[in-house]
Amino acid sequence: MHVVVCIKQVPGTTKVAINPETNTLIRDGVEAIINPFDENALEAALALKDKTPGTKVTVVCMGPPQAENALREATARGADNVVLLCDRAFAGSDTWATSYALAQGIKALEKVDIIYCGKQAIDGDTAQVGPGVAEFLGWPVITYVRKLDVEGDTVKIERVFEDGFEKIEAPLPVVVTVVKEMNVPRMASLKGRMRAKKEQIKMLTAESAKADPNEVGLKGSPTRVVKIFTPPKKTSGQKWDGIGDPIHAAKTLVGKLKEQKLV
Ligand SMILES: Cc1cc2nc3c(=O)[nH]c(=O)nc-3n(C[C@H](O)[C@H](O)[C@H](O)COP(=O)(O)OP(=O)(O)OC[C@H]3O[C@@H](n4cnc5c(N)ncnc54)[C@H](O)[C@@H]3O)c2cc1C
């Protein structure tokens, strides 16, 4: 079996700047980490490999050259192959263009059975890329997965809701997006770290992934983020303790509301 994990590098801090022209994040010089949900996706793939001999895990990331670090970490934890989709043409991609580029990159690999994504990225937060990749590949997608077993050509899945879970089956190949409850990500071994240092990262450009240059980057992105801002901090407000004299407290409150022309 061949499983692919999509991992995204995200800022490891909330102190990030926004490019005022493109309304995209300025990632240069910002400490980057693997998106936490993608660590669970990677762990799920590695656990499947441990359980099913012959399984190969390929990790794919679209990002700038510094995303190599995330891929080396994936190798250190046990990934067999790592692929970086890296090209200026990809810069500024929205979820549509990101999903398309990842799908094209995955098509360039040998036959894939399962694609694991995180539930969502903690910077963009859209949770659209997993389903987007599935759509571009024409595969089924199951989101919010907390348990996955492979039986023959079928996956048996538990999908979480706010107040419960549902059991679903789907034929392979399939895309799944995983939640934190799925597992606890493993640490890299010393042997893994040594291997990761020497690992040859497979690089794919838009051209080598056979991605249409008009469908990636800002040009291929239908979304326009028109404004990004930090909401103003809420003030602590005013409190009237009505326990001692509730009538006085109620009158004061009504007076204040009238002052503000709210009643
Ligand atoms: C504040 C902010 C707001 C944004 N708003 C929008 C918006 O409204 N619409 C829009 O289209 N774009 C938006 N973007 C851009 C968005 O970050 C990118 O499109 C991004 O590449 C993917 O979207 P996401 O981060 O929401 O990923 P999600 O869809 O939340 O990611 C889900 C999973 O997909 C996989 N994945 C995502 N990106 C990659 C990658 N580059 N490489 C490998 N795997 C990946 C991971 O497994 C991840 O866990 C916004 C960005 C920011 C910073």
Q: Whose C-alpha lies nearest to ligand 1, atom 18?
A: 94
Would you say the CB of residue 121 lies under 6 angstroms from ligand 1? yes
Q: Which of 2, 31, 3, 1 minimizes the C-alpha distance to 15?
A: 31
Instruction: Report how far residue 42's alpha carbon sits from residue 7's, in angstroms, rounded to the nearest whole number.
Output: 8
- Ligand 1 atom nearest 120 alpha carbon: 30
Q: How far, in Å, from the CA of 129 to the mean position of ligand 1? A: 6
Place of tokens 């500024």: 92
Instruction: Report how far residue 193's alpha carbon sits from residue 216's, in angstroms, rounded to the nearest whole number.
Output: 33
Would you say the CB of residue 40 lies under 6 angstroms from ligand 1? no
Q: How far, in Å, from the CA of 10 to the mean position of ligand 1? A: 9
Prediction pTM value:
0.86
Per-residue confidence in pLDDT tens, the chain, 263 aa: 999 999 999 998 766 677 777 766 676 777 899 999 999 999 999 999 999 999 999 999 999 999 999 999 999 999 999 999 999 999 999 999 999 999 999 999 999 999 999 999 998 889 999 999 999 999 999 999 999 999 999 999 999 998 899 999 999 999 999 999 999 999 999 999 999 999 999 999 999 999 999 999 999 999 988 887 767 777 777 777 777 788 888 888 899 899 989 98
Q: What is the DSSP string of 81-115?
A: EEEEE--GGGTT--HHHHHHHHHHHHHTSS--SEE
Q: How far, in Å, from the CA of 113 to the mean position of ligand 1? A: 23
Residue 70 contacts residue 9 (beta carbons within 8 Å): yes
- Ligand 1 atom nearest 123 alpha carbon: 53
Q: Which of 47, 38, 214, 217 minimizes the C-alpha distance to 117?
A: 38
How high is the pLDDT of residue 217? Answer: 96
Mutation test of ligand 1: which of 61, 86, 98, 201 has the most ligand atoms closer than 8 Å to its C-beta? 98
Q: How far, in Å, from the CA of 3 to the mean position of ligand 1? A: 21
Would you say the CB of residue 68 lies under 6 angstroms from ligand 1? no
Instruction: Report how far residue 259's alpha carbon sits from residue 263's, in angstroms, rounded to the nearest whole number.
Output: 9
How high is the pLDDT of residue 15? Answer: 67
Would you say the CB of residue 217 lies under 6 angstroms from ligand 1? no
Q: How far, in Å, from the CA of 155 to the mean position of ligand 1? A: 26
Would you say the CB of residue 144 lies under 6 angstroms from ligand 1? no
Task: List phi, psi (to 5°) of 214.
Answer: -80, -10
